[in-house]
């Protein structure tokens, strides 16, 4: 029976590339996104692999647990989870010099808390089996000071350290946790499209999502490093 990867926060950029890369290795892929508007296109793009699509807001704990249960019932136990939700419609960035507690709370609720809930939902089963992997995409502002990302940076840093610490805590269990730390616009992704549709006065570097997906596969197979960094930001 094929191993199963659940791609949470699936989009046309990195999420689809992750699904394609693991699908090439024989994984059954389950893609989860907030709406089903592009699901038919995703399935067509992954022709030749075993793929299913699901609708859920993974920042909502009840929906998260329900969709994970549905994937398990339909495809089997989930071996690997990729967590990479992003909302291109709401940048939500406030300069840190102007940010209050409420401004910092929103990114935590959108990024960090859903990641923790996801771990709570899938890790017990992985530990019981002695196998599995948890992969998380995060921003470079969680590793290097990037003032232009303001109120988003503390949540990025918290997510990154959570994953790195989880990696250390899971040693010798057979379960792996790894961080994909991304600095730059991911080609074909929603944020790339939204950013390039306007003139911001500068153009950050771009990254090929297929290269990042290759890095995710290397983390999964090698399990020697807790993090892979992809940096197209010339100033960092």
Query: Distance between CA 82 and CA 137 in Å, rounded?
Result: 8
Backbone angles phi, psi at 200, to 5 degrees: -100, 0
Contact 80, 126 (CB under 8 A): no
Q: Cα dihedral sign for 97, 102, 103, 107?
A: positive
Query: Distance between CA 142 and CA 212 in Å, rounded?
Result: 17
Q: 3-state class of 29 per DSSP?
A: strand
Q: What is the pLDDT of residues 177-232, one digit of tens each?
A: 999 998 777 665 455 454 444 544 446 677 888 999 999 999 999 999 999 999 87
Q: What are 223's two structure tokens? A: 């399990």
Q: What is the pLDDT of residues 15-58, one digit of tens each?
A: 999 999 999 999 999 999 998 988 999 999 999 999 999 999 99
- Phi-psi region at 174: left, alpha or beta (left = phi > 0; alpha = psi -120 to 50): left
Query: Distance between CA 125 and CA 123 in Å, rounded?
Result: 5
Contact 137, 90 (CB under 8 A): no
Q: How far apart are the first and last CA of the chain?
A: 44
Q: What is the pTM of this model?
A: 0.90
81 Cβ contact list (under 8 Å, min separation 6)? 5, 6, 8, 118, 122, 133, 134, 135
CATH 3.40.50.720 assigned to 4-231: yes
The better pLDDT of the pair 68, 142 is held by 68
């Amino acid at each position: 029976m094929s191993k199963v990867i659940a791609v949470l926060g699936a989009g046309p950029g990195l999420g689809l590339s992750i699904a394609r890369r693991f699908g090439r290795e024989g994984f059954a892929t389950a893609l989860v996104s907030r709406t089903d508007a592009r699901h038919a296109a995703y399935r067509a793009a992954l022709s030749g692999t075993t793929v299913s699509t699901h609708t859920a807001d993974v920042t909502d704990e009840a929906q998260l647990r329900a969709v994970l249960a549905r994937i398990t019932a339909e495809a089997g136990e989930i071996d690997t989870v990729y967590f990479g939700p992003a909302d291109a419609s709401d940048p939500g960035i406030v300069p840190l010099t102007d940010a209050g507690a409420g401004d910092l709370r929103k990114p935590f609720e959108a990024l960090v808390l859903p990641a923790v809930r996801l771990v709570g939902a899938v890790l017990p089963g992985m530990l019981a089996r002695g196998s599995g992997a948890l992969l998380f995409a995060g921003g470079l502002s969680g590793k290097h000071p990037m003032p232009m990302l303001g109120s988003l940076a503390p949540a990025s840093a918290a997510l990154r350290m959570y994953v790195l610490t989880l990696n250390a805590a899971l040693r010798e269990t057979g379960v792996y946790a790894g961080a994909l730390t991304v600095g730059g616009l991911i080609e074909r992704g929603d944020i790339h499209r939204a950013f390039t549709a306007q003139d911001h006065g500068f153009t950050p570097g771009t990254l090929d999502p297929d290269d990042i997906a290759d890095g995710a596969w290397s983390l999964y197979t090698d399990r020697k490093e807790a993090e892979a960094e992809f940096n197209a930001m010339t100033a960092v």
